[in-house]
Amino acid sequence: MKRIDWSSLDAAARADCLARPGGGDQAEVEAAVRRVFEQVRADGDTALRALTRRFDGVEIADFAVTPEEFEAARAQLPAKLRVALAEARSRLVTWHRAGMAAEFEVDTAPGVRCGRLLRPIPRVGLYVPAGTAPLPSTALMLGVPAELAGCADVVLCTPPRADGTADPAVLVAAALCGITRVFKLGGAQAIAAMAFGTPTLPRCDKLFGPGNRYVTAAKQLAAMLAGGPAIDMPAGPSEVLVIADAGAPPAHVAADLLSQAEHGPDSQVILVTDSAALIDAVEAEVARQLAELPREAIAQRALEHARLMRVSDIGEAFAISNAYAPEHLILALRQPRTWLDRVASAGSVFLGDYAPESLGDYCSGTNHVLPTNGAARAWSGVSVASFQTSISVQEVSREGLAAIGPCAVEIARAEGLEAHAQAVLRRLEAQA
């Protein structure tokens, strides 16, 4: 891990310090994704089988998960895990339901009543990664808000295992959310299939879910297609930034850094603190805990991009965090809530020494599908609203038209749009 004294860096060095890993070959990633899209567009299911054979090393005759496979998955899953998934779903329902938007109507002028309608997106496509590790939690994070939004058709894609089956925990999590249309398909080819549609997979109106750089690039390409689907957000490799003071337990901070590092070699973890002693202690703890991890090799590669930053004061740490806009922000501070108003850009915030990011990943109730790579400056995590459209509606009486019509005429003529003005004037004249 790289140790950095922030005050000693110039502007260019600071920008370099906050750069995400793996950006140099982005053009190659995008070119590879375009080739996949071209294959899927041209050859449909035949291309999907060939790409699955190439990237997953599996022959798939039928991508759709059968009812029998769902039953077998439930039977395979340990009872404790089934209970844990159900508990996590319950908390997600509680949190998402509390944050749901509402329809409304309001009189903006006498005789002018305006409102908002909420409608579920008809068909949504969910992507649940299973690259180096299957993520049943992601099936819950996407399935719960889709269910609450009332989406009529939910399609879920997840990569096949070596034996050609879907991960049992992912299937059980999907079933808990009422999802029955699951396909054993991963990577950019899954995104392409949901964007174009094939004889097997339906075309989707909006795509959701995190993934590696190829999946992220595929979602962004899909959103650029003429008539293509919308996407939830740029959600790529995981990242965490920890702001800690001298009182933070080094073992906790080290564990938080490693919990993100083990996601994949392109994950990034950053510690920002005003305590040199804490940096020393955390560095030692990371080395000790790393050796105990089953995914040590993956985490070790991610730690090559890690940063241990020393700042002059905690206030400066928040300026760094807001510039970085982390997916996950942990405030390992003695009075973390008093600093919340300093947070301007982050996907999800964790307060204090007893709120590890892992809880947000699984079962606190908040959603773990969050913007990465600095997108938290403008994007938000997945919510029920992500699965809905908002439609404005207005009803105007004769009196309402008389009250606000002249305002519209004035603005329309200022913009040089006389037909707009006439659409109002002809109605006003008819009332005279």
Cite the annotated binding site for Zn(2+) by residue number: 260, 263, 361, 420
Q: Are 208 and 232 in contact (CB under 8 A)?
A: yes
Going by the annotation, the residues of the binding site for substrate are: 238, 260, 263, 328, 361, 415, 420
Q: CB neighbours of 83 closer than 8 A, spacing ≥ 6? A: none
Q: Which residues are annotated as a binding site?
A: 127, 189, 212, 238, 260, 263, 328, 361, 415, 420
**For residues 21 and 264, what is the distance between their CA atoms, to the nearest angstrom?**
12
Q: How many Å apart are CA 344 and CA 413, to the nearest integer?
A: 40
Could you list the residues known to form a binding site for NAD(+), using ranges. Answer: 127, 189, 212
398/159 Cα distance (integer angstroms)? 59
Torsion of CA 259, 263, 266, 271, to 10 degrees: -10
Q: What are phi and psi of 128, to 5 degrees?
A: -115, 110
Residue 72: other Cβ atoms inside 10 A: 14
Cα separation, 329 vs 356, in Å, equals: 10
CB 260 within 8 A of CB 328: yes
Q: Are 317 and 272 within 8 A, CB to CB?
A: yes
Annotated catalytic residue, options 96, 252, 305, 328: 328
58-70 burial, b at 16+ Cβ within 10 Å, e below that, comes to: bebeebebeeebb
Compute the distance between CA of residue 89 and CA of residue 367 in angstroms, rounded to an integer: 11
Helices (H) and strands (E) in the chain, counts: 15, 14
Beta strand extents in 64-122 (DSSP E only): 104-109, 112-120
CA dihedral 372, 194, 176, 376 (to 10 degrees): 10
- 327 catalytic? Reply is yes
Spacing of C-alpha 392 from chain mean position: 26
3-state secondary structure of 428: helix
Active-site residue identified among 147, 239, 327, 357: 327
Is 105 known to be catalytic? no
CA-CA distance, 432 to 430, in Å (whole number)?
Answer: 6
Residue 87 amino acid letter: E
Nearest to 339 by CA among 357, 377, 358, 313: 313
Active site residues: 327-328
